[in-house]
Amino acid sequence: MKKEEKHRILILGASGFLGGIIYKELCSYFKTFGTYHTQNKNYEKNKHFFQYAVEEDDIYEILNAVKPTIIISALRGDFAAQVIAHKHVVEYILEHKSWLIFLSSANVFDAYSKYPSYEDDKTLSNSIYGHFKIKIENMLLRLPKKHVTILRLPMVFGPQSPRILEMLQNLKNNEPVEVFPNLIINVTNDSKVTQQIHYIINRNKLGIFHLGSNDLVHHDEFIKEMIDTLDSKNKAIYKKVFTTNEDRYLAVLPKHNLLPKHLQLSSQEIISELKYN
Ligand SMILES: NC(=O)c1ccc[n+]([C@@H]2O[C@H](COP(=O)([O-])OP(=O)(O)OC[C@H]3O[C@@H](n4cnc5c(N)ncnc54)[C@H](OP(=O)(O)O)[C@@H]3O)[C@@H](O)[C@H]2O)c1
C-alpha cells in the first residue's frame, strides 16, 4: 500500500504502551517515526526510531531530522524536563505550521470530586501529575487552534495494557489487587484510542477531546468484572483502598466534541473485547 504523503508523523514515546499501539496503527498509512528511551536493539536498527531522553537531549534535533507535520506526545519522564521539551515542540509547530496531538489525562480534573468533567470545564488538580498536565495544556491552549488537539484519557485498559498485565501477575502470585470502591470513573481501551486518533488525524479534528466511555463505573466493580472475565481459575484477593468516605468522580465524559457513534464506547465493550481476545 502506498503511504499517504499528506503527513509525516513523529510519536514521542513510541516504545511505550500507548505510543507503541499508535505507531502500529498509523505506520501503514503515514510516514511514521518515533522515539524510545530505554536501550533496545530492535529500535537501534530501525531508522524510523530515535533514542531520546527528555532530561538530556534536545528534541529540536529529532524534529529537524524528521520534519514531522504531526507530533503525537505520548511521553513519560521528568515533569520539568517534559515542560521544556513541549516548549520546544511548540516553537517548532509554530515555525513549521504543524500540529501537536497531546495525550493528557483525567487527572487535570482530580481536584473536583463531586462531578464528572466535560471538555470545556475549568481544569483543577491536587496532584503533581495533574498540575503538570494542566501546565502543558495551558501552554497549548494559548496557541492558534489549528495547531493543537488535546486528548484527555481516563485509565486505558486492553489485553496488553500494563494495568491488566500487573493484575494478572498479582493473581498468579496470590497477591492482592488494589481497588478503589469510592472511585467513579469512565474508562477506555487501547484499540478504541488508536481508532479515535486515526480518525482525528484523517478528519483534522482540533481542540479538546474526552476519549472516555459514555458511561460511568465504580472502579472496584469494573476491575472485578474484568478479572472474572480474564481469569476464572485463580481466586482474586482484593485490597480495598478508601481515599475518602464519599464517592469521588474522576471521569472525562465526552459532550461537546463528540466523535461518530462507532468511535464512542461503553465500559461493557471493554469487557466484551477482553472475552474474545
Ligand atoms: N496508560 C494510561 O492509562 C494513560 C491514561 C491517561 C494518560 N496517559 C498518558 O499517555 C501517555 C503515554 O502513557 P503510557 O501509559 O503509554 O506510558 P508508558 O507505557 O510508560 O510509555 C512512556 C513512553 O515514554 C518514554 N519515556 C519514559 N521516560 C522517558 C524519558 N526520561 N525520556 C524520554 N522518554 C521517556 C518511554 O520510553 P521507554 O519505554 O523506551 O523507556 C515510553 O516510550 C503519557 O503522557 C500518559 O500521561 C496514559
Cα of 151 from ligand 1 centre, angstroms: 14
- Nearest alpha-carbon partner for 144 in 108, 184, 99: 99
User: pLDDT category, 6, cuts 50, 70, 90?
Assistant: confident
Q: Quick one: average pLDDT of 224-251?
A: 90
- Per the prediction, the chain carries an average pLDDT of 96
User: pLDDT category, 3, cuts 50, 70, 90?
Assistant: low
Residue 206 has what pLDDT? 98
Q: Whose CA is nearest to atom 8 of ligand 1?
A: 105
Alpha-carbon distances, residue 182 vs 133, 150, 221 (angstroms):
24, 28, 10
For the CA atoms of 205, 209, 212, 213, what is the dihedral angle to 10 degrees? -60
Per the listing, cell 470502591 goes with 181
- pLDDT tens-digit profile of 114-124? 999 999 999 99
Residue 277 has what pLDDT? 75
Residue 33 has what pLDDT? 98
Report the C-alpha gap between 118 and 12 in whole angstroms.
26
Cα of 77 from ligand 1 centre, angstroms: 7
Lowest mean pLDDT among 32-36, 73-77, 170-174, 199-203: 170-174
For strands 217-218 and 183-185, give the pairing.
Answer: antiparallel
Is residue 179 over pLDDT 60?
A: yes
Is residue 57 over pLDDT 60?
A: yes
16's CB contacts (< 8 A; 6+ apart) are: 74, 75, 76
Is residue 268 over pLDDT 70?
A: yes
Q: Quick one: average pLDDT of 59-63?
A: 97
Q: Which of 10, 12, 18, 155 to mutate to test the pocket of ligand 1 (most atoms within 8 A of CB)?
A: 18
Alpha helices (H) in 33-179, listed in sequence order: 41-45, 59-66, 79-96, 128-141, 162-172
Question: Would you say the CB of residue 136 lies under 6 angstroms from ligand 1?
Answer: no
Helix, strand or coil, per DSSP, at residue 90: helix
E strands, 130-216, are 148-153, 155-157, 177-179, 183-185, 187-189, 207-210
Cα of 193 from ligand 1 centre, angstroms: 15
Helix, strand or coil, per DSSP, at residue 159: coil
Cα of 233 from ligand 1 centre, angstroms: 32
Question: Would you say the CB of residue 74 lies under 6 angstroms from ligand 1?
Answer: yes
User: pLDDT category, 231, cuts 50, 70, 90?
Assistant: confident
Question: Would you say the CB of residue 153 lies under 6 angstroms from ligand 1?
Answer: yes
Residue 276 has what pLDDT? 80
- pLDDT tens-digit profile of 72-115? 999 999 999 999 999 999 999 999 999 999 999 999 999 999 99
For strands 155-157 and 187-189, give the pairing.
Answer: parallel
177's CB contacts (< 8 A; 6+ apart) are: 167, 170, 171, 223, 227, 236, 237, 238, 239
Secondary element (H or E) of residue 31: strand 30-36
User: pLDDT category, 55, cuts 50, 70, 90?
Assistant: very high
Query: DSSP class of residue 117?
Result: B
Predicted model pTM? 0.97
